[in-house]
Amino acid sequence: MRHAIHGFTGELVLPGNPAYEVARRTQDDTVDRRPAVIARCRDSGDVAAALRHARETGLAVRVRGGGHGPDRFAIDDDAMVIDLASMRAVHVDSTGPRVRVEGGATWRDVDRATQAHGRAVTGARIPSVGVAGFTLGSGSGWLERKLGLAADRLRRARVVTADAQLVTASAEEHPDLFWALRGGGPSFGIVTELEFALHPIDEVAAGLLAWPLDHAAAVTSAYAELMADAPDDLGGGLALLNGAPFVPAPLRSTPLIAVLVVWTGAGDAPVSPLRALGPALDFVRPMPYAHLQAMFESPEPYTARLHGVGGFLTELSPQVVAVLADHQRSKPAPEGSMLVQPLGGAVARGDARSSPLGGRDAPWAYQAGAAWFDPDADPAVADWAASLQAALAPYTIGEAWPNFIPERDATRLRAAYGADIWGRLQAIRACWDPDDVFSAGHAIALP
């Protein structure tokens, strides 16, 4: 099949082209789709040209950013993939202070640029996650208690709409579209640029305190009590570790319970109640924020099979940690993480007037990920993830933010927003994409 695209200056990667086998893969090895054409765009003009061509030729449209989304979100069989991976420029306006980010950038690109100015915005805990996909689906990261979600920090976006027009969305221009983009998902248009409000974040105190798992009850209770009235500057989470490479050899085969401390305030991190419990490891120290962000860097290209689940919790209790520890032990995947993160702070102050995202009252959230290499283990991992969600159900409140719903599920997506917000998102979608062009992934169903 030949695809000449009028006005397109980027690269078209077609089946049979040597680059095709690499270009059709994502971060997740379970995604194994064969698109009709992959349009590697250089700018918003290319995005509009590729989109126009797809609509004229009847090709389904998929949009690829950082490639961390689940199966069929960004890559699909026989589709036109509008690939933004070459659009990664980041411009920091240090006087604003704002940062403008092209639609295919990853958090690695953004953190590198903003840290040169001693500033930051809430980014993903894994640097290779795409900025646009992350932000459109909430954007939960280490700085969320201090700065809010990435969606909350979005100030302006440039969007190629379903009719291939480039528009600006902000509080002043197309405020309905802007509201929908702040967490309403990827079905309102192709975001070619995002502008975020930056905050001065340079050096932080961060790192792990860790204990053998038989200290879990005492550590959990002390951490829950500490976070109940902690300042917004204290973030991080509680994690279960097993054989992490940075753990010194004598403890490497010991299951550990750890608190990851992220302190953005002045002086020492206020974690003395935890230190009083005598951690076996105390790695908390001052470091540039960029070092914290790089702590969970993965080699590129990362070629594991990935599955993650998450949700909001009513409590962090020894019972919750016991469920997590059971599932850490039984996980049929060699890699992955278990994290319970404290919410509150700036996350709780967001409201429906400024963003469609719910979950603002939840005190805690969890995320559990599995990374594995053997396709034969796929069913066991799916069963394991379902079992974990079921065991946590008595402690779960509401529905997770879209970024933590790992499959296309209209019922869960609707529940994540609630009926009123869903209705408003549907009306905005009907206005901006009446022909259902952006129907993939966590698309808001047309009314």
Ligand X SMILES: Cc1cc2nc3c(=O)[nH]c(=O)nc-3n(C[C@H](O)[C@H](O)[C@H](O)COP(=O)(O)OP(=O)(O)OC[C@H]3O[C@@H](n4cnc5c(N)ncnc54)[C@H](O)[C@@H]3O)c2cc1C
Query: What residues make contact with ligand X under the rule CB under 6 A?
Result: 26, 63-69, 73-74, 84, 103, 124-126, 129-130, 132-134, 136-141, 186, 190-191, 306, 308, 403, 440-441
Angle ∠(189,165,435) on CA atoms, nearest 5: 55
Q: To the nearest whole angstrom, how small is the minimum distance from the Cβ of residue 272 to ligand X?
A: 28
- Nearer to ligand X (CB atom), residue 123 or residue 207: 123
Q: To the nearest whole angstrom, how small is the minimum distance from the Cβ of residue 127 to ligand X?
A: 10
Pairing mode, if any, of strands 305-313 and 396-397?
A: antiparallel
Q: To the nearest whole angstrom, how small is the minimum distance from the Cβ of residue 150 to ligand X?
A: 7
Q: To the nearest whole angstrom, how small is the minimum distance from the Cβ of residue 261 to ligand X?
A: 17
C-alpha 384/C-alpha 369 separation (Å) is 11
C-alpha 132/C-alpha 74 separation (Å) is 12
C-alpha 138/C-alpha 431 separation (Å) is 22
Q: To the nearest whole angstrom, how small is the minimum distance from the Cβ of residue 33 to ligand X?
A: 11
Are the beta carbons of 339 and 164 closer than 8 angstroms?
no
Helix boundaries (H) for 202-317: 216-228, 249-252, 272-275, 289-294
Tell me how far apart the terminal alpha carbons of the chain are, to the nearest angstrom.
35
- Nearer to ligand X (CB atom), residue 211 or residue 372: 372
- Nearer to ligand X (CB atom), residue 300 or residue 420: 300
Are the beta carbons of 72 and 408 closer than 8 angstroms?
yes
- Nearer to ligand X (CB atom), residue 51 or residue 124: 124
C-alpha 324/C-alpha 366 separation (Å) is 10
Secondary structure (3-state) at 38: strand
- Nearer to ligand X (CB atom), residue 180 or residue 222: 180
Q: To the nearest whole angstrom, how small is the minimum distance from the Cβ of residue 276 to ligand X?
A: 30
- Nearer to ligand X (CB atom), residue 135 or residue 216: 135
**Tokens 């993830």 sit on residue:** 385
Q: To the nearest whole angstrom, how small is the minimum distance from the Cβ of residue 326 to ligand X?
A: 23
Secondary structure (3-state) at 260: strand
Are the beta carbons of 15 and 154 closer than 8 angstroms?
no
Q: To the nearest whole angstrom, how small is the minimum distance from the Cβ of residue 177 to ligand X?
A: 12
Residue type, 305: R
- Nearer to ligand X (CB atom), residue 183 or residue 279: 183
Secondary structure (3-state) at 234: strand
Residue type, 397: I
- Nearer to ligand X (CB atom), residue 277 or residue 348: 348
417-440 residues labelled b (16+ CB within 10 A) or e (exposed): beeebbebbbebbeebbeeebbbb
Q: To the nearest whole angstrom, how small is the minimum distance from the Cβ of residue 215 to ligand X?
A: 26
- Nearer to ligand X (CB atom), residue 11 or residue 407: 407
